Amino acid sequence: MKKLAVFFLLFLTVAVFNATAHPPSDIKITFDPATKMLEAIIFHDVNNPAQHFIKKVDIGLNGHEVVSQSISRQDNNESQTVRVLIPDAKIGDVLSVEGYCSISGKLEKELKAV
């Protein structure tokens, strides 16, 4: 009976953990070809951005990672914004942004530079 109670508590802990963990819900990417600046707003609704946050953002150019940025806490309860200079990007290139949740999950979006 004691083993069953321990198993049940473990199951509840995992269920609650998974209920609070979630990947980013969306990523809005903009790129200014004149300044070569990429801005990404990674939407990730959380209750405590110091404990549950976007921990890493990877930026890709034509399928190759060019920037990886680690983050220690999210900007606010709704989103994390990153701005990155991509000097080699040009019109027609494909830029990608991948945001990683500190607990579980990730989301990637792409933008064709125009």
- Whether 62 is in a domain gets the answer yes
- Whether 15 is in a domain gets the answer no
- Whether 93 is in a domain gets the answer yes
Question: Residue 72 is part of which domain span?
Answer: 23-112
* Domain containing residue 63: CATH number: 2.60.40.730
Indicate the average pLDDT of the chain. 89
- Whether 5 is in a domain gets the answer no
Q: Considering its fold, how many domains does the chain have in total?
A: 1
Structure confidence by residue, pLDDT tens digits, 27-82:
999 999 999 999 999 999 999 999 999 999 999 999 999 999 999 999 999 999 99
- Whether 18 is in a domain gets the answer no
- Whether 63 is in a domain gets the answer yes
For the whole model, what pTM was predicted? 0.81
CA–CA separation, 31 and 95 (whole Å): 9
Which phi and psi (to 5°) does residue 21 adopt?
Answer: -85, 135
Length of the chain, in residues:
114
